[in-house]
Copies of this chain bind each other. A is one copy, B any other.
């Protein structure tokens, strides 16, 4: 592994976090928080998801948000669950779409209301229709554990990733620990296994984790050791998955940034400014948070 490899955080509070708050937040508040996150040095931000406003009313203002933040100095992406979402994202000027599906049938049905086969067909359509200027990332949800089916067999993950790589050989592929129940040894081994697939030789990799079982930072570092450089986290640990019972709490951005920054792998994120945004996010009514760093005396955190 090159010595020059550095970790990169993708801040997902505006998507995985905001969708977990039942009452939609004011659009201005969302925009202000995205601005603050970029100002704190977050190099990537997932600004929301292009989904049916009937299914997820928290995301009904995506076009307005995209227009307001599009010139910020960060890579901005948005989640899309289907072809329609991808079209809407491109129309809104999004430069990077994250196409999401789950390896396990039960979770894919609950989350995006289609079969895994239908989702993979959809990916094919999206990949071929996407303008060349728009980057594609594929979020492989329940790549470790499914809230309905338990541990997802490795073979199923390998088959899904192999199919994704065949469709989108240059996409970034994120293995997502949707429930937080992965353990660091499993994370390391599964990344090594997907990276060893010959068809993924041109893909790049990301890890999306939750801290529900206390493994959030350790799982991310296990992915780092396996060669993953991109990590989804949410400031204040806001979030969860509305269709994954018990899956409260994305790994807190500040907890993982602490590990990297203090360990000499500077993420470019300023801890003081990040914690100020995390405080703002934690004060949102109805949010469930799970940070460690935010709770220590501030002068010890920065």
Contacts and interface: CB of A to CB of B under 8 A. Distances in A.
Contact of A213 (B212, B213, B216, B296): B296
A186 B217 contact: no
A297 interface: yes
A246 interface: yes
A253 to B, nearest CB: 11
A188 to B, nearest CB: 9
Contacts of A265: 185
Interface residues of A, number: 33
Interface string A135-172: 00000000000000000000000000000000000000
Contact of A292 (B211, B296, B300, B301): B211
A138 to B, nearest CB: 26
A171 to B, nearest CB: 29
A293 B218 CA distance: 15
B218 A186 contact: no
A214 B263 contact: no
Nearest to A258: B213
A263 B183 contact: yes
Interface in A214-268: 214-218, 221-222, 245-246, 252, 255, 258-259, 262-265
A181 interface: yes
A298 to B, nearest CB: 11
A152 to B, nearest CB: 14
A258 B292 contact: no
A264 B293 CA distance: 30
A291 interface: yes
B246 A212 contact: no
A68 B211 CA distance: 39
Nearest to A249: B292
A184 interface: yes
Contacts of A264: 185
Interface string A259-302: 10011110000000000000000000000000111001100110
A184 B246 contact: no
A186 B211 CA distance: 22
A222 B185 CA distance: 12
A215 B212 CA distance: 14
A184 B216 CA distance: 13
Contacts of A215: 217, 255, 258-259, 292
Interface string A179-218: 1010111100000000000000000000000011111111
Given A211-B292, A213-B296, A214-B293, A186 B262 contact: yes
Interface of A: 179, 181, 183-186, 211-218, 221-222, 245-246, 252, 255, 258-259, 262-265, 291-293, 296-297, 300-301
Given A184-B218, A215-B259, 10 more contacts: A184-B221, A184-B263, A212-B296, A213-B255, A213-B293, A214-B252, A215-B292, A218-B218, A218-B259, A221-B222
